[in-house]
Amino acid sequence: MLNQQSTKHYIQTKTRTLARSQGRVVILGSGWAGFKLMKDLDKKNYDVSVISPRNYFVFTPLLASTSVGTLEFRCITEPVRTYSKDINFYQASCDRIDLENQVIHCVSNIDDNQKPFSLDYDKLVISVGSYSNTFGIPGVKEYACFLKDVNDARKIRKRLIECFEHASQPGLSEKEKEELLHFVIVGGGPTGIEFSAELYDFIADDLSRLYPELMNKTRMTLYDVAPTILSSFDSYLSDYAHKKFNRKGIQIKTQRYVEKVADNHLIIKGEGKVPYGLLVWSTGLMQNPLVESLSTAAKDASGQRILTDGQLRVLDKETKLPYTNIYALGDCATIEGNDLPATAQVATQKANYLRKVFNGIAKKGYGVPVDEFEFKNRGMMAYIGSSEALVDMSSVHELAKKSGHLSWLLWRSAYFSMSMNIRNRMLIPYHWFLTWSLGRDISRF
């Protein structure tokens, strides 16, 4: 275990160069936190290396839109290599961190070249994200679709069209068609709600024209273990979404427990066997394997996230003192005594904070006092279908709670402005216009 002193700033000198006075910063992950930090960090003073199993950033708030063809996949991705002139990027997974020698051990994530390699660091930023939580329920990992990456959205889109094409073929009974066209979503948080809304729009606007004879056999059911959907939103907005879903014919079944998932049905406690054509699982997060392997790092009460101090430095499990050159942010980490939600907003603000800290060290040195991270809640938004959305900014002002079409315009405007580059800011409104004027593409490939 690395010896720590709260007043000592340990910097290994073997990776420092005359061109990069502050040495090498290694960033693990290319999600909201890692990508934002990589973009904004001062490259003149830091030698920046990024390790990630994927070579792109995903704008996750619009991921549900790509799963039904409202947007195309490239509208929400940005290649890490865009910044290759200023950084070193390695498409690989980090599976072990040697804290004492300041070395990370990685395995290449390229199909024909899965060779191990090691990399020294002066500062290490752990922003590896998290996985979808299956809660150990049998069959979830094998048969359910998740919504964390572009590949997940592509899989959902392909399966959706497959269900309708299969149901339209001759020789199927009415019962078989109804089972194929039963779409189940497990999880009543923002991701589950927004996917349900996008799926409803896809069926109502496009598939109803192409498969009119199947519409009376199509249904959607949303299950959640909590007593209400969108529990993080104001109760008025949560009730509004519930009523809107009921009017659309989307069944909402709360306080339900999934016991088992098979290839074409799931078992619900107290309800029994429920057949489905597509199952989308969105029920929270579980730790990344790298986080699990960090046995000397402190974890939160659930054991799923790394504990940091107010300056985002990883805490030692035994001494509870911070490692002065190891930081953690994003979904894989939380601050001791200040547990924040695993959202893009939190990750982005932490990345902005750490960028200021690192750039401040480069300009003024270590002697300058560093303020602790302070989260500023700017509210939440969720799309609920039929060009309506929820906007909950009660954290800013108690009356800032809106729903309906005006909120939908705000939802679209906000996500459009948050897009990382100019290319995507051109592609997103272009595909929104195409969808509005010509409908969604239902090609299956």
pLDDT in tens, 310-348: 999 999 999 999 999 999 999 999 999 999 999 999 999
pLDDT confidence bin for 22, thresholds 50/70/90: confident
pLDDT at 361: 87
Helices 235-248 and 190-202, interaxial angle, to 10°? 30
Tokens of 73: 């996949």
Tell me the HSE value of 54 on the side-chain side, using a 13 A CA sphere: 16
Q: Are the CB atoms for 441 and 65 separated by under 8 Å? A: no
Which of 18-22, 141-145, 176-180, 439-443 has the least mean pLDDT? 18-22
Helix, strand, coil tally for the chain in percent (to 5): 35, 25, 40
Question: Distances in Å between the alpha carbon of 284 and those of 104, 140, 242, 316, 408?
Answer: 28, 13, 20, 26, 25
**Closest listed residue to residue 84, CA positions, set 55, 105, 112:** 55
pLDDT confidence bin for 206, thresholds 50/70/90: very high
Q: Give the integer Cα–Cα distance in Å for 428 and 70.
A: 10
Question: Mean pLDDT in the chain?
Answer: 91
Give residue for tokens 């998740």. Answer: 146
Helix, strand, or coil here: 381?
A: strand
pLDDT at 176: 97
- What is the sign of the dihedral through the CA atoms of 27, 38, 331 and 325? positive
pLDDT at 112: 73
Q: Give the integer Cα–Cα distance in Å for 445 and 435.
A: 19
Tokens of 184: 């189940």
Phi, psi values for residue 442, rounded to 5° = -115, 20
Q: Give the integer Cα–Cα distance in Å for 272 and 205.
A: 32
Read off the pLDDT of each residue in 208-232 and give the average, rounded to a whole number: 96
pLDDT at 399: 67
Q: Give the integer Cα–Cα distance in Å for 240 and 237.
A: 5
**Closest listed residue to residue 375, CA positions, set 412, 403, 337:** 337
Read off the pLDDT of each residue in 122-140 and give the average, rounded to a whole number: 95
Q: Give the integer Cα–Cα distance in Å for 290 and 286.
A: 12
**Rg of the chain, C-alpha, whole Å:** 23
Helix, strand, or coil here: 10?
A: coil
Phi, psi values for residue 317, rounded to 5° = -65, -40
**Closest listed residue to residue 404, CA positions, set 203, 188, 246, 244:** 244
- What is the sign of the dihedral through the CA atoms of 90, 95, 96 and 97? positive
Q: Which residue has the higher pLDDT, 395 or 425?
A: 425
Q: Give the predicted TM-score (pTM) of the model.
A: 0.91
Phi, psi values for residue 308, rounded to 5° = -125, 165
